[in-house]
Amino acid sequence: MNIKPIYCYITALTGFFGLFALLMLWNTILAPSAHFPVALVLLVAVTPLLLPMRGLLDRNPRSCAWAAYISLIYFIHGSVETYVNADERLYSSLEVILSLMLFFGSAFYVRLTGKQN
């Protein structure tokens, strides 16, 4: 069975942009923080995700690998929030799912494009 790298890349992009949209909506509209300014929360939450974005869009395998590593931060955050905060369990569960999509999609994309060369 041959899996085409484009399917893994599409999965990674879906996870990436879904995670980006979720973080933006969660911290601004759905459940903004009462203790910290919204701009600070967005800066801390979204900036790591933006670092490999250009390379991810250019299908650079090194940037895809870094996106996979960075997605683990969001997986840990979503897992902890799911356990701790019952009010926002839906958002944090969605964060876990999208971060896993980004991780597995980009990891398999790097793996499959490495086999072709």
Question: What pLDDT, on the 0 to 100 scale, is given for residue 1?
Answer: 67
The CA distances from residue 11 to 29, 41, 56, in Å, are 26, 27, 12
CA separation for the pair 59, 84 (Å, rounded): 36
Instruction: Decide: 106 and 26 in contact? Cβ < 8 Å.
Output: no
Q: Yes or no: say if 17 and 56 are a contact pair by the CB < 8 Å rule.
A: no
* Contact in structure between 54 and 63 (CB atoms under 8 Å): yes
What is the pLDDT, as a whole number, of residue 116? 59
- In one-letter notation, the amino acid at residue 67 is A
> Digits of tens for pLDDT over the chain (117 positions)?
688 999 999 999 999 999 999 999 999 999 888 899 999 999 999 999 999 999 999 999 999 999 999 999 999 999 999 999 999 999 999 999 999 999 999 999 999 997 655
- pLDDT for 33 equals 85
pTM beyond cutoff 0.95: no
Closest CA to 20 of 85, 99, 87, 105: 99
Nearest Cα residue to 77 out of 67, 85, 87, 66? 85
Which burial class, exposed, middle or buried, applies to 35 when counting CB atoms under 10 A from its CB (0-12, 13-18, 19+)?
A: exposed
pLDDT of residue 46: 95
